Amino acid sequence: MIVITFWVFVLAISILLYVLLDGFDLGVGILFGLTRAEGDRRAMMSAIAPVWDGNETWLVVAGVVLWGAFPVVYATLLSAFYLPLLVMLAGLILRGVAFEFRARAERTRWIWDAAFSGGSLAATFIQGMTVGALVDGLPLVNGRYAGGDFGWLSPFAVLCGVGLCLGYSLLGACWLVRKCEGDVRDTAYRQIPSLSVALLVFLVIVFVYALGKNLPVMGRWLERPYLLVFPVIGIAAAIKLAHSVRRRQDGVPFHMVAIIFIAAYGTLAISFWPYMIPFAITVYDAAAPHSSLAFMFWGEGLFVFPLLLIYTAINLSVFRGKVDSTSQHY
Amino acid sequence: MDLTALLLSRLQFAFTISFHIIFPSFSIGLAVWLAFLESLYVATGRPAYRQVFEFWLKIFGVAFGLGVVSGIVMAFQFGTNWSEFSRLSGSINGVLLSYEAFVAFALEASFFGVLLFGRSRVPAWFYLFSSWMVALGTSLSAFWIMVNNSWMQVPVGYVVENGVFVPNDWAAIIFSPVVWVRFPHMLLASFLTGAFCVAATGAWYLLRGEFAAEARIMLRMGLFLAAVLVPIQIFFGHLTGDYVHDDQPAKFAAIEGRWHDEQPAGEVLIAIPDPATGSNSYEVKIPVLGSLIGSMSFTSKEVGLVDFPPRDRPPVFIPFFTFRIMVGCGLAMLLLAWYGSYLSVKERIGDTRWMLWAIFLGFPLPWIAILTGWYTAEVGRQPWAVYGLLRTADAMTPFLTARAVTTSLVVFCAVYSFIFAFGVIYIYRLLQEGPSGDLALPPVAATPNRPMSVVKASLEPKARHASPGE
């Protein structure tokens, strides 16, 4: 039992870190598509170049932990989202190689620009859409997916895809405010208010929809009103965000948006706990046998996972502060 | 279930994993070679070793990067196309592959970064230590992959509960004798890939009359290493054949092209197997040798394919030919390595241009051997995904449609060809530029997570030079 909780915790941390870290660099990729000036584009790429692929490793960590520790969920979700995941992987690969090849291209630079922003947008949309499809309820029969190639598609799922694009763009804009100077920073400051308002409206819609659609979720919030602390923290962070943007405190907005994300993540998790696939498969149904979880714990859980956390912290702190826009490769 | 989807899924898996294996099989061997070079440099202080090290480190970076990118797809593909396999054996295979990923990332996160950017920032002994840790890490990564695949070949240490494979003895899984012949077989194959690529590059420079000092080091070290390793590899290949003989008799019969029981059994050197008639055409066969190879005996009875019900037989054509191509490549490598080493010792290799050409053109041999070896192992395991327990047809995602797999196969082919083309151009330009570069400090904006940025920094001046219009 404890070991199941441990792996739920590892998985939750891995997914949260992925969302926050790759979230901002995917967001920068989306905003990249909205700019035209070459200097700004270089500055935007430089702001995420040193960290993006360390960020992306958390996706693979989450993927393999899901498979090893919760094989049923891995098998069900990945096969159900066959085509969306294909688009996400292609998007992530194209975005990744764009980092390496863009600087060397002159005539073909537009291809890499399109790959970079298009790949970021596609990967983000798919991630939001899958979460939306899960909240909406996948068509399952006896715990098996039974929806065909497009069974995950619903207006709500699409709405969540759009919502995550807004969310990641907001994270990205705050990251740019933190890392850049000049035009890039000013543009990002102009984008933050509208992105934040759009994101908050979206989150409220999702929360109300989830409450209305699923009575068990509603019951949980009514029974334990103290859980409302998560949405409340989110609102407080939004207020602080507005202040810091007005006062141009470059370092603050990113942390506030990260708190909003954590609050939304916590709200989502509490609403559906202990279900991993809402109202069909719980963490206890999905957990691998004790012998597997214990074997994973004594090696990768106890040693390698903390090492990865430390490394992530070091990598981010090494590249803290503003990037110098005059001496960049990008 | 959709049979077209099954065929396409198998093709997609074969394509993506074949593409992937090209890079690790090169970088595992290269990592050990780099550690060895750095040790030599520390021991002797000869700058040429350092030049060669810096040069191959850049190439290692590209191969490593492409291996990581193509590996991410593998982590998802088991779930998307083979969801029943993932569900039923995830508590074993998922766990083993999670160890592989964690080991790979822990390595990438720490010591590889030191190698790329730390020469001026850490003590020399720590740099040397890091180079060996990278070598250890890439080999450990291969280890977990081989444990994983060996369990699918010969499942051990499990019980079946509610149709799901539950591990009950991890020691049996990890220390399975099958692992300990197949892991060395794969590791040696990677070392040979590294050795032959290094030797071929040396031969190429000598043919072009460039970088003579470095080229000689590459040629000699590559050839000598291969001369020692190829015979050991052939020995481990034989041991691998032994496990197939004992544990997977149907695969063994398919590889041997043996349709009916024989006592004593002959060895088919070459033939065209015909599954329709259950016989071989144009067969060249040596009597008794089959028993000798299979059981080390002159009289043993060896099993034929028709002993197995048709639904349990592997395809014959692919294992039969891929195995022979692999062995052929091995023998060609043995000739190249031994004769090349002989010429090297006699100091005549620089003047023997046809041999330099042969070594240069021989660089694909280890890759062909690795790919055909894996095709023999994997196609020969059919119709099973987990041998004797789970059929490939039952391992596939049950509701997968041919339309969906066609889409993904086309997308993967397009994206991979695209990346591969650029990766090959990168490596080719690096090789062309040669090890002559000054030992400059690493670029400031590059990071351990982005091995390819080193390459770019080093290529940029040359690229500008090549196209003055920029």
What confidence tens digit (pLDDT) does each residue in A37-75 have? 888 888 898 888 777 777 888 888 899 999 999 999 999
Of A19, A45, A50, whose CA–CA distance to A31 is shortest? A45
* Interface predicted TM-score of the whole assembly (ipTM), two decimals: 0.88
Contacts of B69 in chain A (CB under 8 A): 93, 96-97
The residues, ordered by sequence, that sit 6+ positions from B277 with a Cβ below 8 Å of its Cβ are none
Contacts of A72 in chain B (CB under 8 A): 87, 90
State pLDDT tens for residues B242-268: 999 999 999 999 998 888 888 888 888
The alpha carbon of residue A244 is apart from the nearest alpha carbon of chain B, in Å, by 30
Q: Is the pLDDT of residue A326 over 60?
A: no
Contact assignment for A289 to B415 by CB distance below 8 Å = no
The alpha carbon of residue B226 is apart from the nearest alpha carbon of chain A, in Å, by 34
Res A5: pLDDT: 92
> For the residues B40-65, what does the mean pLDDT come to?
87
Q: Is the pLDDT of residue A330 over 60?
A: no
Res A307: pLDDT: 86
> For the residues B329-345, what does the mean pLDDT come to?
93
Residue A323 in domain: no
Q: Is the pLDDT of residue B339 over 80?
A: yes
Residues 230-259 of A with CB under 8 A from B: none
Contacts of A3 in chain B (CB under 8 A): none
Q: Which of A148, A305, A328 sits opposite B445 (nearest CB)?
A: A328
Residue A49 in domain: yes
Confidence of residue B451 (pLDDT cuts 50, 70, 90): very low
Contact assignment for A71 to B91 by CB distance below 8 Å = yes
Contacts of A86 in chain B (CB under 8 A): 80, 407-408, 411
Contact assignment for A51 to B449 by CB distance below 8 Å = yes
Res B280: pLDDT: 83
Query: Using CA of residue A257, residue A259, residue A262, residue A264, what is the dihedral sign?
Result: negative
Does the CB of A100 have a partner CB in chain B at under 8 Å?
yes
Res B351: pLDDT: 85
Contact assignment for B109 to A54 by CB distance below 8 Å = yes
State pLDDT tens for residues B280-318: 888 888 888 888 888 888 888 888 898 899 999 999 999
Residue ranges per domain, chain B?
3-261+303-466
What is the rounded distance in angstroms from the CA atom of residue B330 to the CA atom of residue B185? 12
Res B300: pLDDT: 85
* Contact in structure between B216 and B199 (CB atoms under 8 Å): no
- Backbone φ and ψ of B374, nearest 5°: -65, -35
| % of chain B exceeding 70 in pLDDT | 91
pTM: 0.88
The residues, ordered by sequence, that sit 6+ positions from A195 with a Cβ below 8 Å of its Cβ are A166, A169, A170, A173
How are the residues of chain B apportioned to helix, strand and coil, as percentages rounded to the nearest 5? 75, 5, 20
Q: Which residue has the higher pLDDT, A322 or A179?
A: A179
Does the CB of A123 have a partner CB in chain B at under 8 Å?
no
Helix H or strand E encompassing A137 = none
What is the rounded distance in angstroms from the CA atom of residue B408 to the CA atom of residue B410? 5
Q: Which of A115-124, A185-194, A217-226, A320-329 has the lowest mean pLDDT?
A: A320-329
What is the rounded distance in angstroms from the CA atom of residue A260 to the CA atom of residue A232? 10
Mean pLDDT of all residues in chain A?
87
Length of chain A: 330
> For the residues B161-182, what does the mean pLDDT come to?
93
The alpha carbon of residue B187 is apart from the nearest alpha carbon of chain A, in Å, by 23
Using CA coordinates, name the residue in chain B closest to A54: B449
What is the rounded distance in angstroms from the CA atom of residue B360 to the CA atom of residue B352? 12
Residue A211 in domain: yes
Res B467: pLDDT: 35
State pLDDT tens for residues B114-169: 787 778 778 888 889 989 988 998 899 899 999 999 999 999 999 999 889 999 99
Res B435: pLDDT: 81
Does the CB of A107 have a partner CB in chain B at under 8 Å?
no
* Contact in structure between A169 and A181 (CB atoms under 8 Å): no
Distance of CA A192 to the CA centre of its chain: 18
Q: Is the pLDDT of residue B387 over 90?
A: yes
Confidence of residue B197 (pLDDT cuts 50, 70, 90): very high
Q: Is the pLDDT of residue B200 over 80?
A: yes
Chain A to chain B Cβ contacts (< 8 Å): 202
Mean pLDDT of all residues in chain B?
86
Q: To the nearest 10°, the Cα dihedral for B401, B407, B410, B414?
A: -150
Q: Which residue has the higher pLDDT, B113 or A277?
A: A277
- In this structure, the strands spanning A275-277 and A140-141 are unpaired
Using CA coordinates, name the residue in chain A closest to B402: A149
Q: Which residue has the higher pLDDT, B188 or B66?
A: B188
Q: Which of B105, B448, B467 sits opposite A61 (nearest CB)?
A: B105
Contacts of B95 in chain A (CB under 8 A): 68, 288, 292, 295-296
Q: Which domain covers residue A171, as residue numbers?
A: 2-318
Confidence of residue B109 (pLDDT cuts 50, 70, 90): low
Res A201: pLDDT: 92
Res A158: pLDDT: 93
Domain of A232, CATH number, reads 1.20.1630.10
What is the rounded distance in angstroms from the CA atom of residue B271 to the CA atom of residue B264? 19
The alpha carbon of residue B116 is apart from the nearest alpha carbon of chain A, in Å, by 14
Q: Is the pLDDT of residue B455 over 70?
A: no
Res B452: pLDDT: 52
Residues 417-456 of B with CB under 8 A from A: 418-419, 422, 443-445, 447-450, 452-453, 456
Chain B interface, mutation test: which of A4, A70, A79, most B Cβ atoms within 10 Å? A79
Chain A interface, mutation test: which of B9, B16, B76, B88, most A Cβ atoms within 10 Å? B76
Residues 151-170 of B with CB under 8 A from A: 161, 166-168, 170
State pLDDT tens for residues A222-250: 788 888 888 899 999 999 999 999 999 88
What is the rounded distance in angstroms from the CA atom of residue B425 to the CA atom of residue B433? 12
Does the CB of A3 have a partner CB in chain B at under 8 Å?
no
Contact assignment for B92 to A292 by CB distance below 8 Å = yes
Q: Which of A77, A81, A104 sits opposite B456 (nearest CB)?
A: A104
Q: Is the pLDDT of residue A315 over 80?
A: no
Residue A57 in domain: yes
Contacts of A98 in chain B (CB under 8 A): none
- Number of independent structural domains in chain A: 1
Does the CB of B399 have a partner CB in chain A at under 8 Å?
yes
Res B447: pLDDT: 43
Does the CB of A106 have a partner CB in chain B at under 8 Å?
yes
Q: Which residue has the higher pLDDT, B367 or A330?
A: B367
Contacts of B456 in chain A (CB under 8 A): 100, 103-104, 329
Residues 295-324 of A with CB under 8 A from B: 295-296, 299-300, 304-305, 307-308, 311, 315, 319
How many CA atoms, within 13 angstroms, populate the side-chain half-sphere of residue B344? 25
Cis, bond preceding B264 (omega within 30 deg of 0): yes
Does the CB of A201 have a partner CB in chain B at under 8 Å?
no
Does the CB of A144 have a partner CB in chain B at under 8 Å?
yes
Residue with tokens 């295979």: B93
Q: Which residue has the higher pLDDT, B359 or B212?
A: B359
Q: Is the pLDDT of residue B443 over 70?
A: no
- Measured from the Cβ of residue A308, the count of other Cβ atoms closer than 10 Å reads 22
Strand partners, B284: B270
Q: Which of A50, A74, A311 sits opposite B90 (nearest CB)?
A: A74
- Measured from the Cβ of residue A9, the count of other Cβ atoms closer than 10 Å reads 12
- In this structure, the strands spanning A281-282 and A275-277 are antiparallel
Does the CB of B403 have a partner CB in chain A at under 8 Å?
yes
Res B429: pLDDT: 84
Res B70: pLDDT: 82
Contact assignment for A79 to B449 by CB distance below 8 Å = no
Res B386: pLDDT: 95
Confidence of residue B366 (pLDDT cuts 50, 70, 90): very high
Res B145: pLDDT: 93
Q: Which of A28-42, A57-71, A97-111, B3-17 has the lowest mean pLDDT?
A: A97-111
The alpha carbon of residue A153 is apart from the nearest alpha carbon of chain B, in Å, by 15
> For the residues A165-192, what does the mean pLDDT come to?
92
Contacts of A295 in chain B (CB under 8 A): 95, 167, 170
Most confident of the following: B22-26, B223-227, B421-425 = B223-227
